Amino acid sequence: MSSQIVQWCCSLYCLVLALGAHADMADINRIFRQSPSLDRMEICHGGGCAKLSLTQLSQAEWDQITYLFSPMPEDALQERLMIARAVGKLESLIGVNIGTAGDKAGTFNNAKFPGQLDCNDESINTTTYLRLLVQAGLVRHHAVEDTRTRHFFFSGWPHTTAVIRQTDTGQRYAVDSWFYDNGQPATIIPFEVWKDGYVPEDSPVPR
């Protein structure tokens, strides 16, 4: 078994432990491996991917994303900045379509707000958005990897993120959209920093 498959299985196993009985294993596996398109993509919400919404983006909506990459980034650092903004914009567009536009930062104490996502929803959806960007040729300096889970607990729960890898250096970066409200740029930091329990200073998520 290759190291990549082992890493994916471990990540998926941790995710399933975190989800409990909320999501069907077959659904999680399908969404992890989907090839999203503007015409068809599945989005997780409701906590632990408990709810699935099939949605799409219009060409006018997608044009708002491609605009963020114009001109195209000259290096990986610029590309990460553009990815962060694109993930936030995609969250905003998709949120209007499926009713998650009111998603608040974090997970806990948000039950009174409709359309909430936990970190599992966020990491799966962000991975979907990243694949869209790569397929469109907008991301050229990074590859999309499987989600990763850290055992630095928030109120007794592990925390999961999407991950990209800079292709020329092999450096991995967490792409975490859980720390801020829906539509805000994702947090992109070196994976090892994220793994050590990083939380942005200005995030409303409690430490």
Q: What are the extents of the domains in the chain?
A: 3-195
Q: What is the mean pLDDT of residues 34-46?
A: 91
The confidence band for 23, taking pLDDT boundaries of 50, 70 and 90, is low
Q: What is the mean pLDDT of residues 78-102?
A: 96
Name the one residue in this structure whose structure tokens are 């409200």. Answer: 181
CA distance 155 to 207: 9
- Angle of helix 59-68 relative to helix 76-98, nearest 10 degrees? 150
The confidence band for 30, taking pLDDT boundaries of 50, 70 and 90, is confident
Dihedrals phi, psi of 45, to nearest 5 degrees: -165, 180
What is the model's pTM? 0.85
List, as one string, the DSSP characters of 98-112.
HT-TTPPSSSTT-TT
pLDDT of 116 above 50: yes
pLDDT of 46 above 90: no
Q: What is the rounded average pLDDT for all residues in the chain?
A: 84
Retrieve residue 75's tokens: 């290096």
Q: What is the mean pLDDT of residues 130-135?
A: 97
pLDDT of 3 above 60: no
Retrieve residue 60's tokens: 């006018």
CA distance 187 to 161: 10
What does the pLDDT read at residue 152?
56
pLDDT of 205 above 70: yes
**Model confidence pLDDT, tens digit, residues 145-201:** 999 999 755 555 788 999 999 999 999 999 999 999 899 999 999 999 999 889 999
Does 73 or 153 have the greater pLDDT score?
A: 73
What does the pLDDT read at residue 38?
96
What does the pLDDT read at residue 104?
84
Q: What is the mean pLDDT of residues 98-109?
A: 79
The confidence band for 12, taking pLDDT boundaries of 50, 70 and 90, is very low
Are the CB atoms for 36 and 65 separated by under 8 Å?
no
